Amino acid sequence: MDKDEKMLHMLMDFDPTIRFAAIVDKTGTIEIYSQRDGLKNLVPFDETKQTLKRALHAWDENTRVKSFIGNGKYSIASYKKIKRITVPLGSGRMLFCTLNNEPMKKGIFSNKKSYGHLADMGKILSIVDFIKEQK
């Protein structure tokens, strides 16, 4: 198993809300991906490709502010039903994950509006760093 494959496996094992994880190259081409068994694609592949291109362009632009606020770590685009996460991996490559964001069932004592699940970015980034450090 190579490093990229290992990263996707670890992410899928760590977080059951991850529906889809992929690593893309600098042109937006998916090099490797993993999809959770039993889940249907919410978004057609063509639509995902557009999202990937937009995200790559944004990371390219973000390098303009590196000298002021440091390196880019991750981005999260949150919708009511899903979250899309991107993490730059270096050399123009990028990790892309789709997470379930459907609200938990309402508790008996809570009628508050839900703004979705919390994405444990610390854990996700620590998996990425762990794999990067492997020889």
Partner 1 sequence: MARYEKVLNMLMDFDENIRLAIISDTDGKILVSSKRDSVNLQVPIAETKRALKRESDDWIDRCKSADRVPLGEPLYHITSFDKSKRITLPIDAFHMLFISIDNTPMKNTKKKSYGRMVEMGKLLSIVDFVNTFE
Residues that bind partner 1 (CB under 8 A): 42-44, 47, 50-51, 54, 58, 61-62, 64-65, 68-82, 101, 113, 115-116, 121-122, 125-126, 129
- CB closer to partner 1 out of 34 and 101: 101
Alpha carbon distance 106, 9 (integer Å):
31
- CB closer to partner 1 out of 32 and 58: 58
- CB closer to partner 1 out of 30 and 42: 42
Cβ at position 1, least distance to partner 1 in Å? 25
Quick one: CA torsion of 99, 100, 106, 112, rounded to 10 degrees? 50
- Please give the order of strands across the beta sheet that includes 93-100: 30-35, 18-24, 93-100, 82-90
Kindly state the DSSP code that residue 94 receives in the 8-state scheme.
E
